[in-house]
Structure 1
Amino acid sequence: MLRYRANLKGCSRQLRRDMTDAEQLLWSRLRRKQILGVQFYRQRPIGDYIVDFFAPKARLVVEVDGGQHFELENQRHDERRDLYLTGQGLDVMRFDNLQVLNEIDAVAEAIFQVVTKRLSD
Structure 2
Amino acid sequence: MRHEPTEAEAKLWRLLRDRRFVAHKFRRQLPMGEYVVDFVCLSAKLIVEADGSQHADNTYDTERDAYLKAQGFRILRLWNNDILARPDSVLEAVWAALEGQTS
TM-score by length of 1: 0.79
Percent of counterpart pairs with the same letter?
39
**One-letter amino acid matched to 2:16:** L
* Structure 2 unmatched ranges of 5 or more: none
From 69, 72, 75, the equivalent of 2:55 is 69
Counterpart check, 1:59 vs 2:63: no
Q: Deviations over 1:37-92 (max 9, x none)?
A: 2110011110110100010000000001122213x5xx111110100000000000
TM-score by length of 2: 0.92
**One-letter amino acid matched to 2:36:** I
Aligned residue in 2 for 1:11: none
* Structure 1 unmatched ranges of 5 or more: 1-14
From 70, 84, 93, the equivalent of 1:87 is 70
RMSD of the alignment, in Å? 1.3
Give the drift of 1:114.
1.2
From 16, 29, 38, the equivalent of 1:43 is 29
**One-letter amino acid matched to 1:36:** V
Q: How many residues align?
A: 101
**Where do residues 1-121 of structure 1 align in structure 2 (5 Å cutoff)?**
15-70=1-56, 72=57, 75-117=58-100
